[in-house]
């Protein structure tokens, strides 16, 4: 069985801001981005301009991995939770520190970046959009 898992961050109107943030913080490259206004459903005359500008789907490339970011559908209420988080694995502690510092900006530190028995630099942060990241550095 060939299965692929992709982290998907669902937001409530902040997807464009999050995409810009992940471009800066993670070096992400946007390879696809579509608003609700660009979808076939946009022909529905009842869709507001605000709803049309929300991100229906985006694909970002970070290193060799994909990250999906979108806004919830305009008529759906988004519930925040931390059941899903994203583990970023790097080879160098300096890169772990750079990512950790960028992601914790206006966010919340869950575990300070530190050397632990399983990693020379490991920490957890929830960024300002509510996405939780584990920063894991491999042992050499």
Q: What is the pLDDT of residues 37-88, one digit of tens each?
A: 998 877 767 788 888 999 999 999 999 999 999 998 877 777 766 567 898 9
pLDDT above 90 coverage of the chain, percent: 69
Q: What does 52-92 look like in DSSP terms, one character per residue? A: HHSEEEEEEEETTEEEEEEEPPTTSPPPP--S-EEEEEES-
Mean of all residue pLDDT scores within the chain = 90
Q: What is the β-pairing status of strands 119-126 and 108-116?
A: antiparallel
Query: What pLDDT does residue 140 have?
Result: 82
- Taking the CA atoms of the chain, what radius of gyration do you get in angstroms? 17
Tens of pLDDT along 28-39?
999 999 999 998
Q: What is the pLDDT of residue 113?
A: 98
What's the confidence (pLDDT) of residue 25? 96
């Amino acid at each position: 069985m060939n299965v692929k898992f992709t982290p998907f961050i669902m937001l409530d109107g902040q997807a464009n801001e999050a995409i810009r943030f992940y471009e800066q913080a993670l070096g992400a490259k946007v390879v696809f981005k579509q608003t609700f206004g660009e979808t076939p459903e946009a022909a529905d005359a009842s869709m507001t301009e605000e709803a049309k500008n929300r991100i229906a789907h985006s694909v970002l490339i970070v290193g060799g991995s994909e990250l999906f970011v979108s806004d919830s559908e305009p008529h759906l209420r988004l519930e925040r939770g931390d059941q899903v988080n994203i583990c970023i694995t790097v080879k160098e502690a300096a890169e772990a520190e750079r990512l950790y510092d960028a992601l914790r900006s206006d966010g919340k530190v869950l575990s300070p970046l530190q050397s632990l028995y399983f990693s020379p630099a490991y920490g957890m942060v929830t960024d300002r959009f509510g996405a939780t990241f584990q920063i894991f550095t491999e042992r050499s």
